[in-house]
Chain A
């Protein structure tokens, strides 16, 4: 099992540019989560999907952020246009099901720097 795979590992872009982060969950996992980690706000849940359907996007900070899951093995988080305050580490995680008996498996994250 390769685990949750995120790409790219690092992204440096200029303010105003579009950024797309990618995630491949563990095969067979029904739930996919996008988190953002910053020094100021810690770990925040942005959005999560169940069977490719967005269930809760209340953590998405602004309309500049969007997430899609076109199939069970791929998800994207897009920021357009990007701003310096979007600089953070973005984590994708997946789980077999929701609930406390199904642990989250995190990817290694994408470190985004917006200049």
Chain B
């Protein structure tokens, strides 16, 4: 079975500071990993995904994530936080390339201080 664990349900950062959201996965097969963002009163939007190939994945809005198999991690980062980054972020894992039955983490809420 596949699952993800997000460390920290809430992260507060200053505007311009580094954003780091942690995600560790458990998977019996090579994982396909995703980060989604949910703005208030909206549905989830895909930020980025890792399938195969390059382990450093770049997404929208300046976010990137690195797949580290040895650490079973897929942490999300952004060098400089913006007020518009305030949202909830979800890490997710898929059990196969042709399967979209995603398992989502519990989510991490990001607040950005001016």
Number of interface residues of B (CB under 8 A): 22
Is A18 at the interface (CB under 8 A from chain B)?
no
Contact check, A98 vs B99: say whether CB atoms are below 8 A apart.
yes
Contact check, A42 vs B46: say whether CB atoms are below 8 A apart.
no
Is A75 at the interface (CB under 8 A from chain B)?
no
Contact check, B104 vs A31: say whether CB atoms are below 8 A apart.
no
Contact check, A98 vs B98: say whether CB atoms are below 8 A apart.
yes
Contact check, A42 vs B43: say whether CB atoms are below 8 A apart.
no
With A42-B107, A100-B32 given, is the CB distance from A56 to B101 under 8 Å? yes
With A31-B100, A42-B107, A56-B101 given, is the CB distance from A101 to B43 under 8 Å? no
Number of interface residues of A (CB under 8 A): 23
Is A107 at the interface (CB under 8 A from chain B)?
yes
A103 to B65, CA, bound (A): 17
Contact check, A108 vs B101: say whether CB atoms are below 8 A apart.
no
Is B97 at the interface (CB under 8 A from chain A)?
yes
Q: Which residues from chain A sit less than 8 Å from chain B, CB to CB?
A: 4, 31, 33, 42-43, 45, 48, 56, 91, 93, 95, 98-109
Q: Which residues from chain B sit less than 8 Å from chain A, CB to CB?
A: 32, 34, 41-46, 49, 51, 90, 94, 97-102, 104-107
Contact check, B104 vs A43: say whether CB atoms are below 8 A apart.
yes
* Chain B nearest Cβ from A35, distance in angstroms: 9
With A98-B99, A99-B99 given, is the CB distance from A106 to B105 under 8 Å? no
Contact check, B101 vs A100: say whether CB atoms are below 8 A apart.
no
A90 to B107, CA, bound (A): 16
Contact check, B43 vs A91: say whether CB atoms are below 8 A apart.
yes
Write 22 A-B pairs (CB below 8 A) sorted by A numbering: A33-B100, A42-B105, A43-B44, A43-B90, A48-B100, A48-B101, A91-B43, A91-B44, A99-B97, A99-B100, A100-B32, A100-B49, A100-B51, A101-B51, A102-B100, A106-B42, A106-B45, A107-B43, A108-B41, A108-B43, A109-B41, A109-B42
